[in-house]
Amino acid sequence: MDKNKKETLDLSKFKEEVLAIYPPKIAKKRGKSILLNDPDTIPEIQANVRTIPGIITQRGCTYAGCKGVVLGPTRDIINITHGPIGCGFYSWLTRRNQTRTTSDDQENFIPYTFSTDMQDSNIVFGGEEKLKAAIREAIELFNPKGIAIFSTCPVGLIGDDVHRVSRQMVEEYPDVNIFGFSCEGYRGVSQSAGHHIANNGLFKHLIGRKDDVTPTSKFRVNVLGEYNIGGDAFAIDSLFEKCGIEIVSTMSGNSTLENFETAHTADLSLVMCHRSINYVAEMLETSFGIPWTKGNFIGADATAKTMRKVGEYFGDAELSAQIEKVIAEEMIAVKAAADKATAKTTGKTTMIFVGGSRAHHYQELFSELGMTTITAGYEFGHRDDYEGRRVIPTIKIDADSRNIEEITVTQDATRFKPRKTEEELEKLKAGGLEFNNYDGLMKDMEKGTLVIDDLSHHEMEKLIELYKPDVFCAGIKEKYVVQKMGIPLKQLHNYDSGGPYAAFEGAINFYKDIEMIACSTIFKQMKAPWESEEFVTAEYVFN
Partner 1 sequence: MLLRHTTAKEIDRKALTINPAKTCQPVGAMYAALGIHGCLPHSHGSQGCCSYHRSALSRHFKEPVMAATSSFSEGSSVFGGSANLVQAIDTIFKVYSPEIIAVHTTCLSETIGDDLTQIVSKAVEDGCVPEGKMVIHCNTPSYVGTHVTGYSNQVAAMVKFFSTATPKKKNVVNLVAGWMEPSDMGEIKRLASVMEARTIMFPDMTGVLDTPMNGHYKMYPDGGTTSKDLIATGDSKFTLGLGQYCTEDACIKLENKCKVKFEILDIPIGFKATDRFLMSLSRHANLPIPDSLSDERGRLIDLIADNAKYLYGKRVALFGDPDTLIPLTEFLVSLDMRPVYIVTGTPGKPFDERMTELLKDIPEAKFKSGETADMFRMHQWIKQEGVDLLIGNTYGKYIARDEDTPFVRFGFPIADRPGHNYFAKTGYNGAANLVTQILDAFLDHEDRTCAEEKLEFQL
Residues belonging to the active site: 61, 64, 95, 195
- Helix/strand/coil percentages in the chain, nearest 5: 45, 15, 40
According to the binding rule CB under 8 A, does residue 526 interact with partner 1? yes
Using the contact rule CB under 8 A, the part of the chain among 183-191, 262-270, 418-426, 513-521 near partner 1 is 183-191
Using the contact rule CB under 8 A, the part of the chain among 135-143, 294-302, 422-430, 505-513 near partner 1 is 135-143
Residue in 183, 180, 202, 203 with CA at minimum distance from that of residue 193? 183
According to the binding rule CB under 8 A, does residue 356 interact with partner 1? no
Whole-number minimum distance, CB 39 to partner 1, in Å?
31
Residue in 37, 80, 131 with CA at minimum distance from that of residue 359? 37
- Nearer to partner 1 by Cβ, of 21 and 336: the residue is 21
Whole-number minimum distance, CB 207 to partner 1, in Å?
26
Pairing of the two strands 450-452 and 34-36 = antiparallel
152 neighbors 84 (Cβ within 8 angstroms): yes
According to the binding rule CB under 8 A, does residue 88 interact with partner 1? yes
Which residues in 219-258 contact partner 1 (CB under 8 A)?
none
Compose the 272-301 pattern: x for residues touching partner 1 by CB under 8 A, - for all others. ------------------------------
Which residues in 9-48 contact partner 1 (CB under 8 A)?
21-23, 26
According to the binding rule CB under 8 A, does residue 53 interact with partner 1? yes
- Nearer to partner 1 by Cβ, of 103 and 543: the residue is 103
Q: What are the angstrom distances between the C-alpha of 85 and each of 76, 79, 153?
A: 22, 14, 12
Query: Of 477, 516, 519, 535, which lies in the binding site for partner 1, with binding defined by CB under 8 A?
Result: 477
Query: Of 11, 31, 46, 52, which lies in the binding site for partner 1, with binding defined by CB under 8 A?
Result: 52
Whole-number minimum distance, CB 112 to partner 1, in Å?
6
Residues whose CB is less than 8 angstroms from the CB of residue 200 and which lie 6 or more positions away in sequence, other chains included:
279, 405, 407
Of all helices (H) and strands (E), which one includes residue 77? strand 77-82
According to the binding rule CB under 8 A, does residue 63 interact with partner 1? yes
Total residues contacting partner 1 (rule CB under 8 A)?
Answer: 93
Q: If DSSP codes are grouped into helix, strand and coil, which group holds residue 293?
A: strand
- Nearer to partner 1 by Cβ, of 105 and 534: the residue is 105
State how far the Cα of 473 lies from the Cα of 489, in Å rounded to an integer.
Answer: 5
Which residues in 413-432 contact partner 1 (CB under 8 A)?
none
- Nearer to partner 1 by Cβ, of 57 and 287: the residue is 57
- SS3 of 321-386: the string is HHHHHHHHHHHHHHHHHHHHHHHHHCCCEEEEECCCCHHHHHHHHHHHCCCEEEEEECCCCCHHHH
Whole-number minimum distance, CB 515 to partner 1, in Å?
22
According to the binding rule CB under 8 A, does residue 517 interact with partner 1? no
Q: What are phi and psi of 385, to 5 degrees?
A: -70, -25
Query: Of 70, 153, 162, 503, which lies in the binding site for partner 1, with binding defined by CB under 8 A?
Result: 153
According to the binding rule CB under 8 A, does residue 481 interact with partner 1? yes
Query: Of 458, 462, 466, 513, which lies in the binding site for partner 1, with binding defined by CB under 8 A?
Result: 458
- Nearer to partner 1 by Cβ, of 317 and 399: the residue is 399
State how far the Cα of 359 lies from the Cα of 356, in Å rounded to an integer.
Answer: 7
Query: Of 11, 36, 85, 391, which lies in the binding site for partner 1, with binding defined by CB under 8 A?
Result: 85
Residues whose CB is less than 8 angstroms from the CB of residue 289 and which lie 6 or more positions away in sequence, other chains included:
411, 416, 417, 418, 419
Q: If DSSP codes are grouped into helix, strand and coil, which group holds residue 452?
A: strand
Residue in 205, 265, 200, 492 with CA at minimum distance from that of residue 360? 492
Query: Of 332, 476, 516, 519, which lies in the binding site for partner 1, with binding defined by CB under 8 A?
Result: 476
- Nearer to partner 1 by Cβ, of 117 and 444: the residue is 117
Which residues in 107-126 contact partner 1 (CB under 8 A)?
107-109, 111-120, 122-123
Whole-number minimum distance, CB 168 to partner 1, in Å?
15
Query: Of 190, 192, 222, 293, which lies in the binding site for partner 1, with binding defined by CB under 8 A?
Result: 190
363 neighbors 370 (Cβ within 8 angstroms): no
Residue in 33, 56, 54, 385 with CA at minimum distance from that of residue 195? 385
Q: If DSSP codes are grouped into helix, strand and coil, which group holds residue 112?
A: coil
Using the contact rule CB under 8 A, the part of the chain among 153-161, 169-177, 250-258, 286-294 near partner 1 is 153-161
According to the binding rule CB under 8 A, does residue 158 interact with partner 1? yes
299 neighbors 365 (Cβ within 8 angstroms): yes
Residue 508 is which amino acid? I
Residue in 321, 299, 290 with CA at minimum distance from that of residue 222? 290
Q: What are the angstrom distances between the C-alpha of 450 and each of 218, 345, 389?
A: 44, 21, 20
Which residues in 367-406 contact partner 1 (CB under 8 A)?
399-400, 403
- Nearer to partner 1 by Cβ, of 189 and 337: the residue is 189
- Nearer to partner 1 by Cβ, of 213 and 485: the residue is 485
Whole-number minimum distance, CB 6 to partner 1, in Å?
23
Q: What is the DSSP letter of 407?
A: -
